[in-house]
Structure 1
């Protein structure tokens, strides 16, 4: 059972150029060049991505739903779980290799990146779920009402104060607009391989 989080309850990390409520959704415009990345391979640090964040306690999960309609290289949207500028995880849909990719970046001093193509998810409503239990963050995603897909299992200090919520970035240019349709929290998943209720 999840409970919707009002958009007004979040605090912006790097406020976007535009964010407005529309029929219960939140429509956000990303600044050109916005990104979240630390060092690996590219050699730069970027901490300019936009994220609407609220506390995520141990034993809780957060879900973010959005319409995946972006098409420029590296355009991305999903959920961000952040401890500080050197410790964070982002997961969602990102454009790479000419197609939407379901991916995650786990950052603990330096970033790593994993992805898998999901071209059939283009233009659909995607939900990303980050579940915090014990020393782990379990990431899952789905398109529409389809089945959940396991995306990543990442470490997260059980004593860390973390924030989480919807995020978006447009590293390569301006014009990325994302419609976030839902932000909710609830109990963490009871097991790594248990289906989400």
Structure 2
């Protein structure tokens, strides 16, 4: 995976061409202040810098999460106080939460929808249009459904952003999160 670099590099990972496996560690998370009060920005993130103003980024996640809030997905990163993550989060044996966190000025929000606990593969697509981002998900890489539209810059000009993969285990002892970068294409 050319042009990617670590923030919070995990102890165990394996990389080959367009694929990555992260073994998560207990106590890792991405969250800022809202509702729970704590700040944690120690999840492993594998990011590439992108200064294109219009693109479509697609990844595939495959996971065997098993503890509360185990998660893996896609992340857009400006800095510690401004970022967005989209992932599945383990809840219990009946359902997990498919959701997104958008953090602005050091405060996170969290929007979710319940999906079956039997799902272990999810595709994500992020489309950047200047300062706006459109996030969609799919279970089959054919039919994509919009999750969220957001803006991280409050109308300020955004140049380079970090985009990539992340996984964490806020409470559990860890799991294997597998990723495949499917494409990074210009958008007309």
The question of a shared fold, defined as TM-score above 0.5 by the shorter chain, is answered with yes
Matched, 1:63 2:58: yes
Matched, 1:42 2:36: yes
Give deviations 1:126-154, integer Å, cap 9, x for gaps: 11111110331111011123410100111
Paired residues, what number? 182
RMSD: 2.0
**Once the 2 structures are TM-superposed, how far is the Cα of residue 17 of structure 1 from its aligned partner?**
1.2
Correspondence for 2:126: 130
Does the 8 Å contact 2:138/2:145 carry over to 1? yes
**Once the 2 structures are TM-superposed, how far is the Cα of residue 160 of structure 1 from its aligned partner?**
3.9
TM-score, structure 2 normalization: 0.88
| CA distance in 2 between partners of 1:29 and 1:172 (Å) | 14
Moved over 4 A (4+): none
**Once the 2 structures are TM-superposed, how far is the Cα of residue 179 of structure 1 from its aligned partner?**
1.2
TM-score, structure 1 normalization: 0.84
**Once the 2 structures are TM-superposed, how far is the Cα of residue 184 of structure 1 from its aligned partner?**
2.6
Give deviations 1:37-67, integer Å, cap 9, x for gaps: 0000110100101110001332122222111
Unaligned segments of structure 1, at least 5 residues: 1-6, 191-197
Q: 1:156-195 alignment to 2 at 5 Å?
A: 156-157=152-153, 158-188=157-187
Unaligned segments of structure 2, at least 5 residues: none
